[in-house]
Amino acid sequence: MSFENKHKAKQYWDENIKLVLSLLSIWAFVSFGCGILFVDILNEISFMGFKLGFWFAQQGSIYVFLLLILIYVKKSNTLDQKYGVDE
């Protein structure tokens, strides 16, 4: 990865870290919040025959994590193109 100057490199990494932290906070909310903290409230809702809180704890957080990986790949490629460090 080669940047034009240090300022561009800092901007790139600032945006990249911001993206990673925002996606990790979403994942933490879904896995910890929906699977543990709000499980009693969510269990009042049925989803595909299962209580929603149980579903989030068992499968939902994994699906959200996979979706967040796809989002990161797309946004990371866009960020690479923006700063001219794409392949």
Could you report the per-residue pLDDT of 51-80, keeping only the tens digit for each? 998 888 889 889 999 999 999 999 999 999
9/23 Cα distance (integer angstroms): 21
pTM confidence score: 0.82
Which of the two residues, 24 and 87, has the higher pLDDT score? 24
Which residues lie below 8 Å from residue 34, measured CB to CB, with a gap of 6+? 42, 53, 56, 57, 60, 61
pLDDT at 15: 96
Q: How confident is the model at residue 22 (pLDDT cuts 50, 70, 90)?
A: very high
Question: In this structure, what token pair is assigned to residue 39?
Answer: 């499980």
> Measured at the alpha carbon of residue 80, what is the angle toward residues 78 and 85, in degrees to the nearest 5?
150
57/32 Cα distance (integer angstroms): 8
Which of the two residues, 87 and 65, has the higher pLDDT score? 65
Q: How confident is the model at residue 1 (pLDDT cuts 50, 70, 90)?
A: low
